């Protein structure tokens, strides 16, 4: 199978698998135990914390390990709101957030929080003037993702952070799609909190991290929690974390060159998919984007049909966020950038990764060409 769904998840790297196996076999002590076996695990854990902090230009004491991006988002928002419940109950966000944020916000509305969703333009980029206007004296937190999982738009976190800082608003960003792909600097962007996930960068599933600016106060979501300084309960997954760090160490040095390589593969793919009897359009920005996330639509043909045809001929693609699979709803990103329901249903996403080759792109083009020609001839 040609796998072009790396934004949904990635295969674990060999190095990460080896490290997982070594740590799980040899250093399996509970990182909270006081004996030497526990101490070794704790040392691995603290070194891992430092490595993640370095990648983010943050401090080790701000890193909390979790089960992934979804849990990081939930715990970050709730912990920060609990620790800052005097300022007010107004939150700013966008309609483009991952379901783990959208669902958290929907639940907070039931608890009396008011949410303002700042509009985005046709490229999916947040309107900075609208953001400034949305701020109220009772705005306590803003949660705005970094990179869009469907069309690859990168938000300007530095400009957003500067606006929010002026009003001392807590700034959380879901960085699951950008960690290990482009630079994240929590200090430069005045970020108070971010979420990252291991399985998007060739680490194990079920591992992630949250960074919280150590100068911000927060309170445990689950009272009495002792692990991860009270942030998240449960015995810490040290082998998974060590494998996550290994994967991060592999990807960070090559992330810029990979984005350049993806740009070339993307151009080749989009050009090659065009045909005389159909029109392929790129959805999303033309610059400041994640080059490996390619949002497309083929006029008049449902994305679901294309995805199934691709699957039949051995190419794995997606019709949008993997978390929406099985739900035949139009992509919410497409609706937020002003597409009609019909256009949103035509959406497909191809996402490239470190194992994607020129040959795979050429084969994908040939497969698309052959089933699209057949489809158009049958009409």
What spatial distance separates the first Cα and last Cα of the chain, rounded to whole Å?
Answer: 28
Exactly one of 1, 106, 323, 355 binds ligand PLP (CB under 6 A); that residue is 323
Burial of residue 223, with CB atoms counted within 10 A of its CB: 0-12 exposed, 13-18 middle, 19 or more buried:
exposed
Exactly one of 29, 58, 68, 284 binds ligand PLP (CB under 6 A); that residue is 68
Asked whether position 208 contacts ligand PLP by CB under 6 A, the answer is yes
| 3-state SS, residue 181 | coil
Nearest to 378 by CA among 317, 330, 309: 309
Q: Is the dihedral of CA 375, 376, 377, 379 positive or negative?
A: positive
Asked whether position 149 contacts ligand PLP by CB under 6 A, the answer is yes
Asked whether position 177 contacts ligand PLP by CB under 6 A, the answer is yes
Exactly one of 49, 78, 90, 98 binds ligand PLP (CB under 6 A); that residue is 98
Exactly one of 49, 90, 145, 232 binds ligand PLP (CB under 6 A); that residue is 145
Give the interface segment with ligand PLP, choosing from 76-84, 169-177, 180-188, 346-354 (CB under 6 A): 169-177
Asked whether position 181 contacts ligand PLP by CB under 6 A, the answer is no
Q: How far apart are CB 150 and ligand PLP at their closest, in Å? A: 9
Asked whether position 176 contacts ligand PLP by CB under 6 A, the answer is yes
Q: Is 376 annotated as catalytic? A: no
Between 29 and 147, whose beta carbon lies closer to ligand PLP?
147
Count of residues engaged in binding ligand PLP, rule: CB under 6 A: 15
- Which one of the listed residues 175, 210, 310, 323 is annotated catalytic? 323
Between 33 and 288, whose beta carbon lies closer to ligand PLP?
288
Q: Cα 233 vs. chain centroid, distance in angstroms?
A: 23
Q: How far apart are CB 152 and ligand PLP at their closest, in Å? A: 11
Cα angle at 112 between 109 and 118, to 5 degrees?
A: 50
> What is the 8-class DSSP label of residue 155?
P
The values of phi and psi at residue 218, to 5°, are -150, 160
Nearest to 142 by CA among 182, 208, 176, 191: 191
Exactly one of 75, 94, 139, 174 binds ligand PLP (CB under 6 A); that residue is 174
Asked whether position 322 contacts ligand PLP by CB under 6 A, the answer is yes
Runs of H (alpha helix) within the chain = 14-26, 36-56, 69-83, 99-110, 128-134, 157-166, 238-251, 255-273, 303-312, 332-336, 341-345, 358-378
Distance separating alpha carbons of residues 84 and 313, to the nearest angstrom: 53
Asked whether position 320 contacts ligand PLP by CB under 6 A, the answer is no
Residue 64, strand partner residues: 210
Asked whether position 70 contacts ligand PLP by CB under 6 A, the answer is yes
Between 19 and 293, whose beta carbon lies closer to ligand PLP?
293
Catalytic residues: 323
Binding residues for ligand PLP (CB under 6 A): 68-70, 98, 100, 145, 149, 174, 176-177, 197, 199, 208, 322-323
């Amino acid at each position: 199978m040609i796998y072009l769904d790396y934004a949904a998840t990635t295969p674990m790297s060999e190095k990460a698998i080896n490290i997982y196996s070594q740590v799980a076999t040899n250093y399996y002590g509970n990182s909270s135990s006081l004996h030497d076996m526990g101490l070794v695990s704790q040392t691995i854990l603290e070194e891992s914390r430092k490595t993640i902090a370095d990648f983010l230009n943050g401090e080790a004491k701000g890193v909390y390990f979790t089960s992934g991006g979804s849990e990081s988002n939930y715990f970050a928002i709730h912990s920060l709101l609990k620790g800052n419940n005097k300022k007010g109950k107004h939150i700013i966000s966008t309609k483009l957030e991952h379901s783990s944020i959208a669902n958290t916000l929907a639940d907070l509305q039931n608890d009396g929080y008011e949410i303002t969703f700042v509009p985005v333009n046709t490229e999916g980029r947040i309107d900075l003037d609208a953001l400034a206007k949305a701020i109220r004296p009772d705005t306590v937190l803003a949660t705005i993702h970094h990179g869009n999982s469907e069309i690859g738009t990168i938000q300007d976190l530095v400009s957003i952070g500067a606006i929010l800082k002026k009003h001392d608003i807590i700034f959380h960003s879901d960085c699951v799609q950008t960690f290990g792909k482009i630079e994240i600097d929590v200090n430069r962007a005045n970020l108070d909190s971010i979420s990252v996930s291991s399985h998007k960068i060739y680490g194990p599933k079920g591992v992630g991290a949250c960074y919280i600016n150590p100068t911000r106060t927060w309170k445990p979501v689950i009272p009495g929690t002792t692990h991860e300084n009270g942030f998240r309960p449960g015995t810490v997954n040290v082998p998974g974390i060590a494998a996550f760090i290994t994967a991060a160490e592999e990807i960070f040095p090559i992330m810029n060159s990979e984005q350049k390589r993806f740009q070339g593969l993307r151009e080749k793919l989009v050009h090659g998919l065009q045909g005389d009897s159909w029109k392929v359009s790129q959805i999303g920005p033309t610059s400041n984007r994640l080059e490996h996330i390619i949002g497309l639509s083929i006029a008049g043909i449902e994305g679901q049909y294309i995805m199934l045809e691709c699957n039949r001929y051995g190419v794995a693609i997606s019709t949008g966020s993997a978390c929406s699979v099985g739900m035949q709803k139009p992509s919410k990103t497409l609706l937020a950038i002003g597409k009609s329901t019909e256009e949103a249903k035509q959406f497909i996403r191809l996402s490239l990764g470190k194992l994607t080759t020129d040959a795979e792109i050429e084969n994908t083009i040939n497969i698309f060409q052959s089933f699209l020609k057949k489809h158009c001839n049958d009409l």
